[in-house]
Structure 1
Amino acid sequence: MNLLREILMSLLRKILKQNFKRVVSNFTSKQIANNRLRLKASIDVVRHLALQAIAFRGRDESFTSTNWGNFLRTLDLVVGYNNNIVEIMTKAPKNATYTSPQIQKEILHVISTKVKKAIREEIGDTNFCILVDETRDESMKEQMAVVLRYVDIDGFVRERFYGIVHVVGTTAVTLKKEIYYLFSNYCLDIQNIRGQGYDGASNMRGEWNGLQALILNDCPYAYYIHCFAHRLQLALVGASKAVVPFNRFFTKLILVINNIRASCKRIEQLEIARASNIAYLIDIEELETGKGLN
């Protein structure tokens, strides 16, 4: 209910910015209830799609389109099970349907803010570590992912994804500025940082001008650790290249995978051969069967 109220107030402030009091005073209790119901339906769909990491928008969301995209289609499916809600949705004013792309972004922004506030409350005033990496997305924009690692009040180590920040560049100064700005919005004290985890790129681990060095100058206890997963990857790649049989094996494996993936017929033949092999292993009791996760 608090989330619904916060989103509703955020939207109303934008829609009715100048005449808020005058317009709201003319609303009947039925109109208010209908608006809340329409907004709640949109919130539920947004939460579902966000949780399942499903794209919201469709290529063509016009009235004549056969596929409006996941958000509009899911909303249509959800409200279609109740005739009363269908009537409320179809009779909604054009400026109060709560289905536009801008409204979807507003709802996502409010949900994201509440999640970050919950993480901030869980951290409290204790120490924490930061894990940062940057990459390019499908729209060719540089994005920086920030993860916080800390110990909660029950003594359990938690790793929480804190957000993705668009950065104009990958220089250490730019990344530091965006990290500090993100933390300042939620009153996270830089002096509480006790660890930094990045990859081995020069802009991240540089001893003098890297991100870890810039943060270490402000917080002398924020020690840098090269990401263990990245170090393991580099070690495995280096080891496989040094051992000739391994190097040949992976080289041939890449050729086999590329050869099979290039043909639908070869993929189907591989699946048939795998199914036959599994049936054979079951028949000779080399493979156990049963019910469960697998």
Structure 2
Amino acid sequence: MEKWEKLRNPNQYIERRIHQQTEKEKKQNRLLVMTSIESVKWLALQGCAFRGHDESTESTNRGNFIELIKSHGRANNEIDDVVLEKAAKNAKYTSPVDESHNEQMAIILRYVDSDGFVRERFFEVVSVKDTNALTLKKEICVVLRQYNLLITNLQGQGYDGASNMRGEWNGLQALFLRECPSAYYVHCFAHRLQLALVVVAKDRAGATRWSSHFASVKRFIEMFGSTCTLLENLINEGSNNSIRGEAKGALKVMKTFDFAFILLLMHEVLEKSDILCQALQMKDQDILNAMHFVSSTKLLLQEMCDDRWESFIWYVVEFCRSNDIDVPELTDRYMDGTRRSCQQKNNITVEDYYHFQIFNAVIDFQLMELNNRFMEKTIELLKLYEALNPTDRFKSFSIDAICGLAEEFYPLDFNKEEIPDLKRQLDHYKFDVIRNP
């Protein structure tokens, strides 16, 4: 009778049970897909990387995409039950490895439309066999030809700061310039500054990992004494040998004159570049003002190299004394390596070593990087372009600057006979644009 009753119950019918199970799976799958889509949309909107360095289940940080999925799961138990390791093996919507085995290049066009508005549009993604400059140029040319776009009409080009892109002789920008002299290369100035500062920070600061973060270095100096006290407490009271050992090693390094000298030197160098860094990261960036900051930053660094050694070394010595750091006798002979006299190649003092081989070397290297990243021709080009900036009713409008721009940078578009004609037209335009902006 019991079996008969179950058979008479419609909810026990096989097709009904299958249907119920299917509906449940559909709901879970939709929840999983929607969670993945929302995560992708958020990361794309914020311009964040998807992948992580270590996406294994043992990793404490599995990358932005997976960590965002996990965050959704912590906020909603229904989501937590269907994502990542709890999802079906064929429907995790994650990849254990980077499935893109080929190099890819994204092409974006920036142009002026028929109404005079500047537009920027994603154009195409192209697979390339390698990232050699010649290969990239060939592929870009193929794409442009497909749409009947002439290379000779290029008026600018922009890439990242990799050597295969920005190389003066064989970089991608140089290859296009040979065919189109007006296609000037401009690399994001905020990124240029970051690269210039990071190179110096890595070269001298080693594993400190402060990079170009001036605020972090400044704060660390302010809390130097407290940090040393904390490390001393960990050495005495750490919960295990590993923590006590790491604290002892860190404190030993921090309590050296070398560490203090480089820490304070990086602070001084980054401080000189901080205003430029802020100016370049502003959303409504004033190009002319930013270019002035590039020039003034170089002058400040050069002045520091020429005239600030005495005040800087006094600052370092005082810092060391206030933090119980041994200060070497600056007039003693500098001893390298094992400090044996027979191994010393140069007869220089301790002060000479820190002055010329570290202080001057770091500043010179920083100046070299800034000069390489912020080439004078590019700076001059952008200064002249500022004359076309419509901000504040064309406040920066300058006939001389525009004529100079045409004469110096676009000789193929404006010959010498046309420059006077351009000037006369701009005389009229100046009054018209201010009255009818």
User: TM-score, length-normalised on structure 2?
Assistant: 0.31
Structure with the higher fraction of residues in strand conformation? 1
User: TM-score, length-normalised on structure 1?
Assistant: 0.43
Structure with the higher fraction of residues in helix conformation? 2
Structure with bigger gyration radius: 2
